[in-house]
Amino acid sequence: MIANTPVLSLVIPCYDEQDNLRPLVAAIRAAVDPLKLAYEIIFTDDASKDKSWEILKELAASDPRIRALRFAFNSGQSAALWAGMKAARGQYLVTLDADLQNDPKDLPKFLEPLKQFDCVCGTRVEMRGQGDNFIRVASSRIANWVRNKVSGESISDAGCCYRAFKRECIDNLKFFKGMHRFLPTLFKIEGFTVTEIAVSHNPRTAGQTHYGVWNRLFASSYDLLAVRWMKKRMFRYQVAERVN
């Protein structure tokens, strides 16, 4: 049964995305069906106020590969992603946004580098101007620069949640509000390997962004210090030998 043994779990947080959900599922099917891989799509409805949940229930009723959970109250993108990742059963997880800014067409591109790396992150740097206005692009660039400087990283687009990774990557993951921006660093702390690939970035055609410039620039400063601390202080060890 395809629905019982997915190789790939697509994990999608959703907050007030009613007009994006059907086109998104259609685009995912068009991109993933030809790969002949067993897959599932997991939506976390982060307590949407629009018709998202009704639509997700309809979609799930017509296709067992679509699974959905709904939060009792809005808990944020990180929590929605986390709950979806925990529910995922696939060997590989792919996270993407519900608004079609991340294009399902790019999904197959993640699979080849996944043979070599534990995590493959999408980066919108080249295509960003096509999907977002100048203010959004500029604030995101500044945020990425500061984040990399403070945490000693070299992730070109930490705000992009289009990523694919092996399920082991989340086994011991620390979770906190805003963690979605630090996932590659958190994986690296645990010893996993991370690479980047260029992805396209579409304009949002339905619904609204949930973040403003303030949020993009400053909301994660506090988390950034925690991640910097973790990177410096968390230990990893390897047992070389054992007796008894």
Which residue ranges make up the site for Mg ion (CB under 5 A)? Answer: 97, 99, 101
| Residues 135, 128, 100, 195, CA torsion sign | negative
Residue 99 C-alpha from the chain's centroid: 13
Sole binder of ligand UDP in the list 193, 195, 205, 209 (CB under 6 A): 209
Binding mask 145-184 for ligand UDP (x = CB under 6 A): ----------------------------------------
113 binds ligand UDP (CB under 6 A): no
101 is an interface residue for ligand UDP by CB under 6 A: yes
**17 near ligand UDP, rule: CB under 6 A:** yes
When CB distances are held under 5 to 8 angstroms depending on the partner's kind, the choice from Mg ion, ligand UDP, none that residue 15 binds is ligand UDP
Among 15, 162, 165, 182, binds ligand UDP (CB under 6 A): 15
99 binds ligand UDP (CB under 6 A): yes
- CB 1 to ligand UDP: min, Å: 29
Interface with ligand UDP, residue 53, by CB under 6 A: no
Among 37, 211, 226, 230, binds ligand UDP (CB under 6 A): 211
> Which residues, listed in sequence order, are joined to residue 123 by a DSSP beta bridge?
198
74 binds, among ligand UDP, Mg ion, none (CB under 5 to 8 A by kind): ligand UDP
Minimum distance from CB of 85 to ligand UDP (Å)? 13
The region of 27-35, 74-82, 108-116, 168-176 touching ligand UDP under the rule CB under 6 A is 74-82
**Residue 114 beta carbon to ligand UDP: minimum distance, rounded to whole angstroms:** 22
Closest CB to ligand UDP among 44 and 185?
A: 44
Q: Could you tell me the CA-to-CA distances from 145 to 133, 140, 150, 151 in Å, in that order?
A: 18, 9, 9, 10
Distance of alpha carbon 176 from alpha carbon 215, whole angstroms:
16
Q: Which positions lie near ligand UDP, rule CB under 6 A? A: 13-15, 17, 46, 74, 76-77, 80, 97-99, 101, 209-211
